[in-house]
Amino acid sequence: MRQNALLSGLVVMALAACGAGEKETRTSPEATPNTTTGEPARIEMERLSDIVKVLASDEFEGRAPGTPGGTKTVQFLIEQFTELGLEPGGRDGAWTQAVPMIQTQVQSPATMQFSAGGDSQVLEMQTDIEASTVRPVESIAINAPVVFVGFGAYAPEREWDDYGDIDLRGKVALFLVNDPDFAAAPDEPVAGRFGNRRMTYYGRWTYKFEEAARRGAAAALVIHETKAAGYGWNVASSSPGKNLAVVAAEPTDDPITLQGWLHGDAAATLMASAGHDLDELRVRARSPEFEAFELDDVAFEADLAVTVDNIESSNVLAKLPGSSRPDEVLMVSAHWDAYGLGEPDAEGRTVRPGANDDALGTAGVLEIARVLAAGPPLERSVVFAAWTAEESGLLGSEAYANDPIYPLEKTVANLTLDILQTAGPARDVILVGEGQSELEDDLARAAATQDRVVTPENLPENGLFFRADHFSLARGGVPVLLIMGIAGGADLVDGGREAGDQWIADYIENCYHQTCDAWSSDWDLRGAAADVELFRLILDDLGNSQRWPKWKEGSEFKAIREQSAAARPSM
């Protein structure tokens, strides 16, 4: 196979030679010789690069779930894990876990508009609005009043209720993005109620759609703002009219009929014609006294045709069984999917190859598997997961957490790689979700062995802690750790924090979820390899430990973990 030839005969490049300052760790087992070179197995940049080069090639068509490129990706990963000598990690000796999904696509032309008084404001899909449905219906017809719900948070534990007595049934809920205090000045009454700059779950669009559904709304639209969302309109509108959802084993609340984003300019126009000022409403919505209100004489109208497809995709799972406590599981994961094919860019490219996001993380998982498989067995099992459909809303990991192959209460930790930076070695590693779990102390110890330090993410308002697959496991109580190369500029050996921030700014602006997220021979993978090595060090340590890292005081996931404490030996 082409890819296997690619992965053989590589030049061994130890990290130590690359300025990452790596040293032998206190907990590593005796170095295990690499069979061909006599050197200990290490995370190798060449291998990371070669795996990404394959996964991000045109042949894989951007790895969208339910496409030939997706199928090819799953086959490639199975071949890789097989070659590394791992065992299938699914049920009954399977390498995969099926993830059945429903895909809906709003057909174009899609007609939507606001009518305010006698005037109508036409909404162009992808320019003014991005709207899709999770319902398997062939048509959608909405003509309903519009309710501005502010941030739409119902948070009794924070003494906050944006809804009051308003009845949302059958109506269209219009939300601000993020949570009520992210833009607040320190002296505003709301400051600190929602974690200050740190985004709480109330700030995520997923929460907003869930809350709208609980209240019987027909539709929910979130007003896009780049800073508050953490990404631009190009990202929010990159898959117009398309939605993918896991087929739930037990259907819960009826989902809303239509959901999506409204461009900030379109929202400002709407508010002006309804006699309001959007900027003024943004300030008002930060007040504890704010209550949702219906816009006078305004309706949202949609008349849409929808195609519905059943899609079957798969998570890929492999394992190294533990030598003495195999039922205690450490999990390391990344998502194999990317954005598939899109509109041609200026150079005519249509494949959105997701090279940094997250072919590189997936390559990291494979490299950790290779290095651990070459070493002595660990006492605990290590499960390697490559999730599908992360980009469609963390669906593969959600499906796993709904139906875990290894009980979540005996899963020691989940370590997730999602986007690694390719700008070179760094003096630090960025921590997402500071204060959540004791795993951040594990990360700090591992980083210290590389003469690196841990720096908390600099944009906690972006809510990255809720935007990667580790969150699906966290919801089930599993302590998690995420390394995400866009969580904050690393302090690069070459150029410092400024260069790290610049790399992220360029990546988000030009490449994130776009055709430009491609493999490059110019990548400097020393920093990425060092980050992958951090996870290997943590796995090595926890793999022979009886320790069960805990959630920290104040974490929203602590209580759920404690409910299952009886399932774990006390240590």
CB closer to Zn ion, 76 vs 512: 512
Helix ranges (DSSP H) in 202-251: 205-214, 226-229, 233-236
Nearer to Zn ion, 333 or 450 (CB): 333
> From the CB of 490, what's the least distance to Zn ion, in Å?
17
Give the closest residue to 465 by CA, choosing from 131, 204, 140, 132: 204
**Contact at 8 Å (CB) between 550 and 437?**
yes
Torsion of the alpha carbons at 413, 52, 371 and 412, rounded to the nearest 10: 10
CB 393 to Zn ion: min, Å: 12
| In the complex, minimum distance from the CB of residue 3 to Zn ion, in angstroms, rounded to a whole number | 22
CA-angle at 461, arms to 456 and 463, nearest 5°? 85
Q: What is the spatial distance between Cα 422 and Cα 511, in angstroms, rounded to a whole number?
A: 13
Tokens for 314, please give them. Answer: 């798969």
Q: Residues interacting with Zn ion, by CB under 5 A?
A: 357-358, 418
| Residue partners of 251: CB distance under 8 A and separation at least 6 | none
- For every residue of 487-499, DSSP letters joined together read SS---BTTTHHHH
Nearer residue to Zn ion within complex by CB, 162 or 469: 469
Q: Which residue has tokens 């929203």?
A: 556
Distance CA 197, CA 176 (A): 15
CB of 77 to Zn ion, least distance (A): 16
Nearest distance, CB of residue 529 and Zn ion, angstroms: 19
CA 125/CA 108 separation, integer angstroms? 8
Rounded to the nearest whole angstrom, what is the least distance from the CB of residue 467 to Zn ion in the complex?
Answer: 8
Using the minimum distance from each CB to Zn ion, give the nearer residue, 184 or 386: 386
User: Is the Cβ of residue 242 or residue 282 nearer to Zn ion in the bound state?
Assistant: 242
Q: How far is the CB of 481 from Zn ion (least distance, A)?
A: 16
What's the CA gap between 385 and 366, in Å, rounded?
Answer: 10
Q: Looking at beta carbons only, is 421 or 450 nearer to Zn ion?
A: 421
Closest approach of Cβ 206 to Zn ion, in Å? 15
Query: Alpha-carbon dihedral of residues 282, 287, 292, 298, nearest 10 degrees?
Result: -30
Residue pair 219/174 in contact by the 8 Å Cβ criterion: no
Distance CA 418, CA 441 (A): 20
Report the nearest approach of Zn ion to the CB of residue 256 (Å): 25
First-to-final CA distance of the chain = 47
CB closer to Zn ion out of 130 and 418: 418
Cis peptide before 109 (omega within 30 of 0): yes
Distances (CA, A) of 84 to 73, 265, 366, 368, 552: 17, 52, 9, 11, 36
Which one, of 340, 401, 371, 352, lies nearest residue 512 by Cα? 352
Q: Which is nearer to Zn ion, 150 or 485 (CB)?
A: 485
Query: By C-beta, is 304 or 486 nearer to Zn ion?
Result: 486
Integer Cα distance of 124 and 226 in angstroms = 19
CB of 317 to Zn ion, least distance (A): 18
Half-sphere exposure of 482 (CA within 13 A, CB side): 28
Min. distance of Cβ 522 from Zn ion in angstroms? 21
CB of 469 to Zn ion, least distance (A): 8
**CA dihedral angle for residue 175, residue 181, residue 184, residue 188, rounded to 10 degrees:** 120
Q: Closer to Zn ion at the Cβ: 152 or 527?
A: 527
Q: Which is nearer to Zn ion, 535 or 551 (CB)?
A: 535
Closer Cβ to Zn ion, 356 or 449, answer by number: 356
